[in-house]
Structures are given as structure tokens and as C-alpha cells.
A and B are shown apart, each in its own frame.
Chain A
């Protein structure tokens, strides 16, 4: 296999708080190759967005980042200084945010904001940048692209603004695109269009994409690989099809039960829920973080949790089979 474009080993993020250190993200490992889409799934507060900001080097000053390895196409992100990171951002690693309504600067035109990225990273003329902006606006499906350049963000709808954000991210043909909940703030009909667009573009431009979402429906449609995140840890990672077909971690199965499936979920039958709340991550965190909500929890869950499964599809649980055999008894 070729060397991965992005390789992260044992990423930890900690935030000092008044009542102790908050271990927001712990022991994250993943690899990503060109042309692949990795989806990080988890509920809000699970550390997905922090992980992506850590890759961009955009964490707030109060958040400490530690890892064994963070390598992007030969560049050591851990050792990279501000200058190197600035050259990567927007150029080779681009990001799309959740809130299209507020992610564009209200004081500048769409054209100014689109061309700024290219002008920052490439020695091109304004005319070239403008042409590129028009080309990309057309590519993301915006009509009358040229006239949009002189418009301001407040004159566009949410869906259009997110398309502009996508065009903005693609200005320099990045190798890696990080999309943090790109469709959450949009109408359902628009969501599908934007997702399709992202998938098509990654294929066409041979980009790698990290798609962060809490929506498993989104994952199923677009991801090659899935990483399920819970309370700051990756509890299960693997090829999307395998994870959906044979979910191994109790949390993944719990998540999947929460989605109604046409034909499978009976009318009137209650949807699955995962009772309980996420544990506090302040202070030392040990054992399985899901044990406070897991139906199969036992004393051993407080100890070190082994990694199971294959290299490509792994999960962390005290049960060899992720307590799948117990599930039958309960049901």
C-alpha cells in the first residue's frame, strides 16, 4: 500500500479548566489516503471538531496538543511553525465549516473573499484569481457566477453561502478537505445536493476528505472509511460498508439503532435510544468511556481496554466480539 497522505498517531488534546484538566480528545489514530473519504461520526461534544481544528493548527491558545505522529504528505505537523502552517492552510489543507451564515466576512464581497485565498498562496494576477473564482462557482453549481462576485454574503441564501464556502476551500486545489458538519445548518433538500457535490468534487480532484458529522445517514452515503468517536476516543474504525454491516462496538450499534430504516423499522415501534449521559472528562480518564451507558458494562470495563478486530476494522471493548453475543439475550 502507498504511504498515506495524512497519518495521525495517538493524538491527545487537553484543556486546563478551573476544576482540573479536561481530556477532550484521547489517543486518536487514523490514516487517510488520496481520494479517500473518512467520516468521523459522533455526538456533539465528542471531540470531532476539535480533532479537525487540531489538524489545521487552529486550536485556541488554551488547548494543548500532543501526539506521537501527525504527518501530512511528508510535513510533520507537530513540528511545523506558524509560517509552514499558514502555507498549508487554505492551500493544501482546506476546511469548510458548519455555519455558512456566519462563516463569511460580512464586510467583503464574495469575489474578494474567494480570490483572497488564491492571492495569498499563489503568485497570480487578480484577473487570474477572478477567473478561477468564476470557474469554481460554476463548478459548485452557482448560476450567474460572474455577477455573484460583486455580491455580499448577506445577499445569498444559506445553501448558496455553503456552496461559496466549498468554492473557497477549493480555490487552491487542496489535497485534503476537512468538512465540519457542512450540511447540518441547511435544509434537508439542500443537504443532499451539497453532499453529492462534495463527493463528486473529491473524486474529480482526487482529494482526500475528512467529513465530520453526527448524521449516520450522511456517512452511509459518502464515506469510504468511518471512525466512530465517543467522548474523545475513537471506539470503532473501519471501512464504511463493514462498519454498517457488522457494527462491533456497542456504541456503534446503539447509534445505528437510533436511525429509522425504511422497511426494517416497524411503524409505531420505538426508536432506539442510548440512555445516560457522557461522563465528565475532567481529571484522569481510564477504562472504557462508554461503560456508564453500555448495557453490557462489567467491572472489567474499568481497566485497560484491548483493541480488537483487524487492522482495517478495529474497535475497543473488553468483549472479543464487542458483546454482540450478549445482545441477543437482551433482545
Chain B
């Protein structure tokens, strides 16, 4: 187990470093970052001045090293647009995004797992068909469109919920549904497939032969085994969702990190964009790492390995 964790940690670090390099090199994608920063009307002298000011005249690897080391210390430079330290800017906005992500994954799990279990208990039943329909529709639903429809119906037509903003918990309901529904189909399908598989297995027959009741068989014996892969999937989905929050936050004008990313991209605020890509990647890397460890811990075969 310890070797596994160490190995997995090494891989996570390597991935993190590679991702950081890629997000840093985005700066150079446009060719000359100084010219891009100076704007189209700038003169050659202005561009040179900016080049020296930001240190773009040095070798790229040196710049990367410097950027990485300050990033490790929590210093992502200053936002071109807000003229504030990027780190504090992101830290401020991250709370909303984290809260949204957490609500979203909870919503997804709380709908997908019961639905998947119910569908697996009675294949081809009405509930199975409903689950299939919801997952097929969810996979095809453009989340920005779904969000707008919710706003039209729930906020404008019925007036039940506020259409945008983040001041109360009611503001989070629609974004949570949209973001959660995005992650729900995959979790539902995996739960259903896993339960179907496990329910066929010999140890379930043993549990029934012991005289265990159906509820006990389903939840203690079957779900416990079927849930293991769902845990990793949920972590992966959580990572994707934080990245996907950019669309949802812009639809509902939730001023979180996703919204910040959208603003920064539109304003060519590269230090902020780089930092955000890195932060979102880190979340994904951390979540998948934790999920793998949790997975190994949940599965006795891996725990003792």
C-alpha cells in the first residue's frame, strides 16, 4: 500500500510539472508575448520596454523556472488587468467554484447512485428506462443551454429562484443542477453496470444462502463492491466539473474562478489564465490521486498489496 502511494505520488508530481510547463508555454503560443501585451497600436520601443520589464528577453526555460519557483511559493505574478496579485485574485474566487463543484458532485452522486442501483435491480423496468433516458439526454445536453432553459422556466416564468448571482444558497440551486447533471450520466451508467455485474456473482448467492435479507444483500454485499470504481469516477468527474464550471459560472454570472478564467481570457490576462489552468489541473491531479488512494483502501486486494 505504501509503495503504491509513493509510486502514485511520483506520477502525480511528474504530471503536475508537465502540465505546469504546458500552461506556461501557452504564453509563447502567440509568438511574441510582449507585442501581444503591448497591444496593436504600440510602437517598437514600447514593445521592447515591456519585453525587458516582464523579462521576456531571457531564455524560455529560465523564465519557466522562475515562474515555477514563484508559483510554488504561491506567487503567480500580477494580473495584467486587475493589477492585483494573481494568487489572491484566484483564492478569492475559488471558494465559489469549490462550493459549486462540491454541490454539483453531491447532486450527481445522490441522483446517479440510487438511480443506477434501482435500474440494476430491475433491468428493463420503468425505472431502468427512465435512468437510461436521463443519462442519454444528459450526455447530449449542452450545459449552457440547459442553464438558460432553467433560468427561463424556474427564474423568469415561475419566479421560484433568482436567475443569477451568488449571494444566497438559492442562487446555487440551478448551477448545481446544471453542473451535477453534466456528471450524472457517467456515474449512473457505471453504478448500474457495476451492480449488474456484482449481483451475478457467487458471493451474492452466498449472502442469500446465509439468510441475509434483500436490503442487506443489496447494500452491504453488492453496493460495497460496486461502489469502488464509482469513487474514482466521481473524483475524475469532480476534476472535469471544476474545469466545466467556466460555462456554468458564465451562464449564471457566478463570480467564481471559472468566471474569472472567462474574463481573463477575454482580456488577454495571461498570468491569470496560466495560473488558473495550473490550479484547475492541480485540483484534478489531487482528486485523482486521492481517489486512487481511497480506492486502494476500499479494495482489500489492493490494500494489502
Contacts and interface: CB of A to CB of B under 8 A. Distances in A.
Contact of A89 (B211, B225, B298): B211
B300 A107 contact: yes
A102 B203 contact: yes
B209 A56 contact: yes
Contacts of A82: 214
Given A105-B203, A106-B203, A86 B211 contact: yes
A56 B208 CA distance: 9
A155 interface: yes
Given A103-B203, A107-B224, A152-B301, A95 B209 contact: yes
Interface string B174-212: 000000000000000000000000000111011111111
A263 B300 CA distance: 50
Nearest to B208: A58
Nearest to B207: A105
A107 B299 contact: yes
B304 A155 contact: yes
B6 to A, nearest CB: 22
A320 interface: no
B44 interface: no
Nearest to A117: B210
Interface in A107-125: 107-109, 116-117, 120-121
Contact of B209 (A89, A102, A107): A89
B221 interface: yes
A69 B204 CA distance: 28
| Interface bin, chain B | 20 to 34
Contact of B202 (A86, A94, A99, A109): A99
A103 B206 contact: yes
Given A107-B299, A152-B301, A97 B205 contact: yes
Contacts of A155: 304
A329 B206 CA distance: 50
Contact of B213 (A86, A117, A165): A86
Instruction: Give the interface SS of chain B, mostly helix, strand, loop or mixed.
Output: helix
Contacts of A314: none
Contacts of A103: 202-203, 205-206
A97 B300 contact: no
A90 B300 contact: no
In this complex, the member of B202, B212, B298 whose beta carbon has the largest number of chain A beta carbons within 10 angstroms is B202
A104 interface: yes
Nearest to B206: A103
A121 B211 contact: yes
Interface string B100-141: 000000000000000000000000000000000000000000
Nearest to B216: A120
A82 B201 CA distance: 21
Given A103-B202, A105-B206, A106-B225, A154 B211 contact: no
Given A103-B205, A120-B211, A152-B301, 16 more contacts: A58-B205, A58-B208, A86-B211, A88-B211, A89-B209, A90-B211, A91-B211, A102-B201, A102-B203, A103-B202, A104-B203, A105-B206, A105-B224, A106-B300, A116-B210, A120-B212
Interface of A: 56, 58, 82, 86-91, 94-95, 97, 99, 102-109, 116-117, 120-121, 152, 154-155, 165, 168
6 A-B pairs with least C-beta separation? A90-B211, A90-B210, A89-B211, A152-B300, A102-B202, A105-B203
Interface of B: 201-203, 205-214, 221, 224-225, 298-301, 304
22 contacts: A86-B213, A89-B211, A91-B211, A94-B209, A102-B201, A104-B203, A104-B206, A105-B203, A105-B207, A106-B300, A106-B301, A107-B299, A107-B300, A116-B210, A116-B212, A117-B210, A117-B211, A152-B300, A154-B300, A154-B301, A154-B304, A168-B206
